[in-house]
């Protein structure tokens, strides 16, 4: 190990290094605050000026991160949010946490990774560690990011040190935060691996080095493919068991009493969030380049993608049976727009597809979500931007022909919802504890 590498490693261990994080979203901002909490000085980079301005004004745009946390970090000089990427030259480690969405044909969209690399390369200097945390397919770090970073003469393994460490954030999970989740690390050579491990050793409960960046990239995909496939299985079982008059939720509750050989997964109205609906298709794309098909993964994606249509079908049948009416002209209250409970994150939420399907069939759709007072603009459903959550009241609830529970936030009064609704379609088993209302609750 050279003296320069040893010095960089020591700066991580004594926390004198300055850490730069690119992307101040659901991954980058918690990562910044974790470094701050462990005593590091940080710079947070983002191309979105509104995020930087919000942070400077003590405002948090992520529901589970209080504005006070960022305000304190900024006021104490441990966190500088900025859009000025020339400041990259002043940091010792650069952690890239940018989106990796899908394109129109479900192919990987690595434009954010590419543009980030091109943006920072002119300002990089020798002796910096660069870690990509964005979820992607094996080979991205070495085949796409590395050549961009080397364009100005720096060489990976000699002048700069490149690694991959997949993010494992679970927004809103009270049991796990960045510091308490083990971190997988794969480097472009032993020095990069050593440096990345030394860095993350300072902030997380455990660091797990693997032999290459490709292995680390595959770890993240494997984790989320595992979830996607198992969720697809219980979604399919839900449809089958419903035809037999069997409650899938009761089945799962009983099955999980087995102390070995079983892990509970739960059905829903479709997949949401930035990971599970997207990540499996990154491997599908990469596998085709090696002449392999991912039939199991694609089947799971097909099943999960069909769930919003299935839910709307259940709603339509329930309306016809209860009142003889059709979805056309019906007024529907959608409960929960966020993709998961107790957060304001709407990325890839199945609620958007539910709204789209119902409105295409002539329904009038409103929504209530205490975490999402106004709908943000999204690439796929831009027409919904600006819609506002209705005020919660028994009188408002009673106006609708049906309420459809998409997201089961904890602080929603489900008893009040069921009491004042003509019909409730429950996709999350949120009403399971209520007694005496089975006549107007349909599980879907």
Is 275 one of the annotated active-site residues of the chain? yes
H/E element holding 45? Answer: strand 41-45
Residue 119: phi, psi to the nearest 5?
Answer: -75, -40
Dihedral pair phi/psi, residue 35, rounded to 5°: -60, -40
Catalytically annotated residue among 275, 351, 372, 405: 275
Beta bridge partners of 132: 96, 164
Query: For the purposes of burial, counting CB atoms within 10 Å of the CB of 140, is it exposed (0-12), middle (13-18) or buried (19 or more)?
Result: buried
Crossing angle for the helix pair 295-323 and 350-360, to the nearest 10 degrees: 50
Sheet holding 207-210, edge to edge: 79-82, 41-45, 18-22, 93-96, 128-132, 160-164, 183-187, 207-210
CB 217 within 8 A of CB 289: no
Q: Which residues contact 133 (CB under 8 A, 6 or more apart)?
A: 27, 31, 95, 96, 97, 164, 165, 166, 167
* 383 SS3 class: helix
Distance CA 181, CA 21 (A): 18
107, 64 Cβ separation under 8 angstroms: no
Which 8-state DSSP code applies to residue 127? T
Number of Cβ atoms within 10 Å of the Cβ of 295 = 9
DSSP letter, residue 135: -
Please give the full DSSP string across 204-243, using - where no structure is assigned: SS-EEEES-HHHHHHHHHHHHHHHHHHHHHHHHHHHHHHH
Cα 126–Cα 187–Cα 21 angle in degrees, nearest 5:
60
The rounded distance, in Å, linking the Cα atoms of 269 and 193 is 41
What are the residue numbers of the active site? 275
């Amino acid at each position: 190990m050279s003296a320069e590498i040893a010095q960089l490693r020591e700066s991580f261990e004594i926390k004198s290094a300055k850490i730069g994080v690119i992307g101040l979203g659901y991954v980058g901002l918690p990562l910044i605050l974790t470094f701050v909490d462990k005593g590091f000085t940080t710079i947070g980079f983002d191309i979105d000026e509104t995020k930087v301005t919000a942070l400077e004004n003590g405002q948090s745009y992520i529901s589970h991160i209080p504005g006070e946390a960022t305000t304190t970090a900024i006021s104490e000089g441990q966190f500088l949010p900025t859009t000025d990427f020339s400041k990259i030259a002043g940091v010792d480690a650069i952690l890239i946490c940018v989106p990796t969405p899908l394109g129109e044909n479900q192919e990987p969209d690595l434009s954010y990774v590419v543009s980030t690399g091109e943006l920072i390369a002119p300002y990089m200097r020798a002796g910096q560690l660069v870690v990509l945390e964005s979820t992607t397919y094996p080979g991205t770090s070495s085949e796409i990011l590395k050549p961009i970073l080397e364009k100005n003469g720096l060489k990976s393994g000699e002048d700069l040190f490149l690694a991959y460490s997949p993010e494992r954030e679970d927004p809103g999970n009270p049991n796990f935060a960045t510091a308490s989740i083990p971190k997988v690390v794969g480097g472009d050579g032993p020095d990069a691996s050593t440096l990345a491990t030394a860095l993350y050793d300072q902030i997380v409960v455990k660091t797990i080095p693997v032999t290459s960046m490709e292995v680390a990239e595959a770890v993240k995909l494997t984790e989320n493919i595992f979830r996607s496939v198992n969720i697809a299985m219980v979604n399919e079982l839900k449809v089958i068991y419903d035809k037999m008059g069997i409650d899938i939720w009761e089945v799962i509750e009983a099955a999980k009493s087995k102390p070995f050989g079983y892990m509970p997964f739960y059905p829903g109205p479709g997949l949401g969030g930035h990971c599970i609906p997207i990540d499996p298709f990154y491997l599908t794309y990469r596998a085709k380049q090696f002449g392999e098909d991912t039939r199991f993964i694609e089947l799971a994606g097909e099943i999960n993608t069909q769930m919003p249509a299935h839910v709307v079908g259940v709603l339509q049948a329930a309306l016809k049976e209860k009142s003889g009416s059709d979805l056309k002209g019906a007024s529907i209250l959608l409960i929960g727009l966020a993709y998961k409970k107790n957060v304001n994150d709407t990325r890839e939420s199945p609620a958007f597809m539910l709204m789209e399907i119902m409105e295409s069939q002539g329904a009038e759709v409103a929504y209530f979500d205490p975490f999402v007072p106004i709908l943000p603009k999204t690439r796929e459903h831009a027409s919904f931007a600006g819609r506002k959550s209705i005020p919660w009241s028994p009188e408002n609830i009673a106006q609708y022909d049906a309420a459809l529970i998409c997201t089961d936030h904890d602080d929603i009064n489900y008893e009040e919802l069921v009491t004042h609704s003509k019909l409730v379609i429950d996709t999350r088993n949120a009403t399971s504890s209520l007694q005496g209302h089975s006549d107007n609750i349909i599980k879907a």
